[in-house]
Structure 1
Amino acid sequence: MFGFGSSSASSSTPPPASEPTVAPTREQRKHCWESRDAYFACLDKGNVMVAGGTEPGEAGCKAERKGYEVHCGKSWIDYFNKRRTLELRQKATVEAAARQRDSNPANKGL
Structure 2
Amino acid sequence: MNNKKTADQITSYFLAELQNKPLDEISINEVTRKIVISRVTFYRYFRNKQDVLDTMLEQFLVEFDGLLKHRNMKPDYFKMTTTESVKKVLFDYTLCLVTFFIQISHELKY
When the two structures are superposed, what TM-score results if normalisation uses the length of structure 1?
Answer: 0.34
Kindly indicate which of the two structures has a greater share of residues assigned to helix: 2
| Greater RCO (Cα-Cα under 8 Å, separation 6 or more) | 2
Larger Cα Rg: Structure 1 or Structure 2? 1
TM-score, normalised to structure 2's length? 0.34
